[in-house]
């Protein structure tokens, strides 16, 4: 195992950002190649979004561009040529818009240069450098040495102090102040990144195509509307995390018509995730229960006697997603974790049928 591989196996250690490689809660410590238009994408590959190719560049007439965010305003004076992706999944919308970043940041899994299968075909030219910087531990010298002319930090959860330091290196685009850290929706993330790159029109087109997929699923599966759902993940000391209403994973479900039970929404409050104790597992007895977990974590959960007695478990309305990103043959979990303009097609193709099956079990 070389050093890069060792680095990629490290988790982004921090409480509200890395959970087992997939909980964008304690882990932000935590999911492709474009086939011909008439061909069906191979397994774990998303239908490519329409948009610019890697050879296209932003129109110079679009600049200067000013972006408003939680720390104020950032002006991008000219088309950026060295874009650094500092957010945990910002590389996906950047790549989707035809630009290969000079660097990407490690989040979870063991994917080369933090590029997951659904995004690999979008990488053109030199492969991005991997930034192994756990949450709260930015290496400013390494970032400066890359000489970026634009830093995209929409999903980075940076502080005002980090923003000020990064701004000494290059213009920085952060998330909106309308959401908690890591809570900016995928569609707004894509549009603001597109605006900063001088590609807002292409970004809006890409967003519209994904939003059309949501509308199609809602029309095809009206039975989803109003059903309760929880996306959970094991925590330490016998506790369990779950996605709150401002978490991208839960937003995917609510966009299809599912709802988070009010009791859990209250526990999560303004955070993008919540925590319950093992004694509160009955709160997970909903219409559909999803888990993002490693195989080892799944085994421990399934051995829990309280869990075994939940009605949702007995009736087979549980969906398990491998959240480690280790299985190339199953990228559904990582794709949901990323919930990006590039990964969401995989979630539609592979998770929606499982949701339909689980909801269907309610009628039996």
For the chain, give every domain's residue range. Answer: 59-207, 219-363
In this predicted model, which residue has the larger pLDDT, 98 or 50?
A: 98
Identify the pLDDT of residue 206.
98
Residue 85 token pair: 């992706």
| DSSP assigned state of 84 | E
- 102-111, 132-141, 325-334, 342-351: the lowest-pLDDT one: 325-334
Q: What is the pLDDT of residue 326?
A: 67
Say what the pTM is. 0.83
Q: Is the pLDDT of residue 61 over 90?
A: no
CB 167 within 8 A of CB 257: no
Backbone angles phi, psi at 322, to 5 degrees: -70, 115
Dmax of the chain from CA atoms?
Answer: 63
3-class DSSP state of 188? helix
Q: Looking at the predicted structure, is the pLDDT value of residue 21 above 60?
A: no
Residues 6+ apart with CB under 8 A from 303: none
Mean pLDDT of the chain, nearest integer:
85
Mean pLDDT of 206-219: 98
Report how far residue 364's alpha carbon sits from residue 362's, in angstroms, rounded to the nearest whole number: 6
Cβ pair 20, 30 in contact under 8 A: yes
Identical topology for domains 59-207 and 219-363: yes
Sheet holding 103-105, edge to edge: 129-131, 103-105, 83-85, 150-153, 172-174
**Phi and psi of 332, rounded to 5°?**
-60, -45
Fold that domain 219-363 belongs to in CATH: Rossmann fold (3.40.50)
Instruction: Please tell me the class of the 59-207 domain.
Output: alpha beta
3-class secondary structure, 131? strand
pLDDT in tens, 267-324: 999 888 999 999 999 999 999 999 999 899 999 999 999 999 999 999 999 999 997 7
pLDDT at 27 over 90: no
Confidence of residue 60 (pLDDT cuts 50, 70, 90): low
Res 202 pLDDT > 50: yes
- Binned at pLDDT 50, 70 and 90, residue 327 comes out as low
| Positive or negative torsion for Cα 34, 91, 208, 192 | negative
Per-residue burial over 341-359, b = 16 or more CB atoms within 10 Å of its CB, e = otherwise: bbbbbbbbbbbbebbeebb
DSSP state of 127: P
Q: Which among 342, 79, 31, 32 has a CA at the least distance from the CA of 199?
A: 79
Residue pair 97/197 in contact (Cβ under 8 Å)? The answer is yes
Predicted local confidence at residue 24, as pLDDT: 37
Give residue-wise pLDDT tens across range 104-134: 999 988 888 999 999 999 999 999 999 999 9
Q: Can you spell out the DSSP letters for 17-74?
A: TBSSSS-SSSBS----PPPPTTSPPPTT-PPPPP---TT----GGG-SEEEEETTEEE
pLDDT band at residue 330 using 50, 70 and 90 as cut-offs: confident
């Amino acid at each position: 195992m070389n050093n890069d591989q060792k680095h990629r196996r490290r988790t982004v250690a921090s409480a509200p950002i890395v959970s087992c490689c997939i909980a964008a809660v304690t882990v932000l410590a935590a999911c492709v190649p474009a086939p011909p238009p008439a061909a069906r994408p191979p397994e774990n590959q998303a239908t490519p979004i329409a948009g610019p190719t890697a050879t296209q560049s932003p129109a110079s007439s679009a600049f200067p561009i000013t972006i408003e965010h939680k720390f104020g305003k950032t002006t991008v004076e000219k088309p950026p040529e060295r874009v650094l992706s500092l957010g945990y999944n910002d590389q996906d919308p950047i790549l989707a818009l035809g630009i290969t970043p000079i660097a990407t940041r490690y989040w979870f899994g063991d994917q080369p240069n933090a590029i997951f299968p659904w995004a690999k075909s979008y990488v053109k030219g030199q492969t991005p450098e991997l930034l192994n910087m756990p949450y709260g531990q930015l290496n400013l010298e390494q970032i400066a040495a890359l000489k970026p002319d634009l830093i995209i930090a929409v999903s980075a959860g940076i502080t005002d102090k980090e923003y000020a330091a990064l701004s000494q290196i290059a213009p920085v685009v952060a998330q909106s102040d309308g959401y908690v850290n890591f809570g900016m929706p995928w569609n707004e993330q894509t549009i603001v990144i597109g605006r900063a790159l001088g590609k807002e029109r292409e970004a809006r087109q890409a967003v519209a195509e994904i939003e059309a997929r949501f509308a199609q699923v809602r029309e095809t599966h009206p039975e989803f509307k109003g059903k309760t759902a929880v996306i959970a993940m094991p925590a330490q000391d016998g506790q369990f995390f779950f996605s709150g209403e401002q978490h991208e994973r839960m937003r995917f479900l609510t966009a299809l018509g599912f709802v988070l039970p009010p009791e859990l929404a209250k526990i999560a409050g303004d955070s993008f995730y919540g925590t319950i104790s093992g004694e509160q597992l009955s709160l997970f007895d909903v219409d559909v229960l999803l888990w993002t977990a490693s195989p080892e974590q799944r085994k421990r959960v399934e051995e829990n006697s309280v869990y075994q007695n939940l009605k949702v478990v007995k009736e087979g309305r549980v969906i398990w997603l491998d959240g480690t990103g280790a299985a190339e043959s199953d990228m559904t979990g990582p794709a949901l974790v990323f919930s990006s303009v590039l990964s969401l097609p995989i979630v539609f193709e592979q998770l929606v049928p499982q949701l339909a099956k689980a909801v269907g079990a309610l009628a039996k």
